[in-house]
C-alpha cells in the first residue's frame, strides 16, 4: 500500500530529489517511484486528451466516433477521457490509433544536470512598463532604518517600499 506521507517526504530541490534516482547503487524510494509513475500517466493522458480535443474542435470528431473506431461503448470512452485512471498501454495505443496517430515515447537523461535557473522571481513577473502608470518611484528608507524592506498594501497590491 502506498502511503501519502511517503510521497510528501521528497525534497523539492532537484539535486537532492534526483540523487537517489540517478545513483545506480541506491534503491529508489517508493515515494519517488510513485511520483514518476503518476507523472508519466499524466503525460500520456494529456497527450491523448489534447489530441482528442483538437480533433473535436477542428473536425467535429466525437467520443462516439472514437468509440466506434475501436469497438467500444461511448460511455467507456467518456470514462477514459474523464481521467487517466488505470489506463493500460493498450488503451493509449487504441485511443491514439482511433485518431489516426501512433504514440511515440522519448526519454530524458536524469543524470545530466540542467543549467541553474534564476528563481529570484517567476518568469511571468516582469516590471510594469512606465507608460501604464503602474510604476512608482521607490521611497527612500527612513533615516536610521536598517534598510530592510517592509511591505505595504496599496491599490496595486504589495509594495517593497514601506508606508507612504
pLDDT in tens, the chain (164 residues): 444 444 444 444 566 777 777 777 888 889 889 998 999 999 999 999 999 999 999 999 999 999 999 999 999 999 999 988 888 999 999 999 999 999 888 888 887 766 666 556 655 666 555 555 555 555 555 555 555 444 444 444 444 554 44
Number of domains, the chain: 2
Spatial distance between the Cα atoms of 6 and 127, rounded to a whole number of angstroms: 40
User: Does residue 106 lie in a domain region?
Assistant: no
User: Does residue 81 lie in a domain region?
Assistant: yes
Residues 72 and 25 in one domain: yes
- Provide the pLDDT for residue 121: 60
Residues 75 and 139 in one domain: no
- Provide the pLDDT for residue 59: 93
> What is the pTM assigned to this prediction?
0.58
Residues 75 and 133 in one domain: no
Spatial distance between the Cα atoms of 31 and 2, rounded to a whole number of angstroms: 8
**Closest C-alpha to 107, from 17, 25, 36:** 36
Residues 93 and 12 in one domain: yes
User: Does residue 158 lie in a domain region?
Assistant: yes
Residues 87 and 131 in one domain: no
Boundary-marking domain end, from 47, 80, 98: 98
- Provide the pLDDT for residue 84: 83
Q: What residue numbers bound the domain in which 25 lies?
A: 4-98
User: Does residue 164 lie in a domain region?
Assistant: yes
Amino acid at each position: 500500500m502506498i502511503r501519502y506521507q511517503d510521497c510528501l517526504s521528497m525534497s523539492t530541490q532537484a539535486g537532492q530529489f534526483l540523487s537517489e534516482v540517478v545513483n545506480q547503487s541506491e534503491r529508489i524510494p517508493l515515494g519517488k517511484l510513485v511520483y514518476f509513475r503518476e507523472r508519466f500517466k499524466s503525460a500520456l493522458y494529456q497527450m491523448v486528451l489534447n489530441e482528442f480535443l483538437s480533433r473535436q474542435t477542428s473536425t467535429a470528431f466525437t467520443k462516439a466516433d472514437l468509440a466506434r473506431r475501436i469497438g467500444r461503448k461511448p460511455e467507456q470512452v467518456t470514462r477514459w477521457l474523464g481521467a487517466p485512471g488505470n489506463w493500460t498501454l493498450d488503451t493509449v495505443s487504441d485511443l491514439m490509433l482511433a485518431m489516426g496517430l501512433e504514440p511515440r515515447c522519448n526519454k530524458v537523461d536524469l543524470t545530466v544536470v540542467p543549467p541553474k535557473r534564476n528563481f529570484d522571481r517567476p518568469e511571468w513577473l516582469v516590471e510594469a512598463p512606465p507608460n501604464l502608470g503602474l510604476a512608482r518611484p521607490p521611497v527612500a528608507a527612513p533615516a536610521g532604518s536598517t534598510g530592510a524592506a517592509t511591505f505595504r498594501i496599496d491599490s496595486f497590491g504589495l509594495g517593497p517600499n514601506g508606508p507612504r
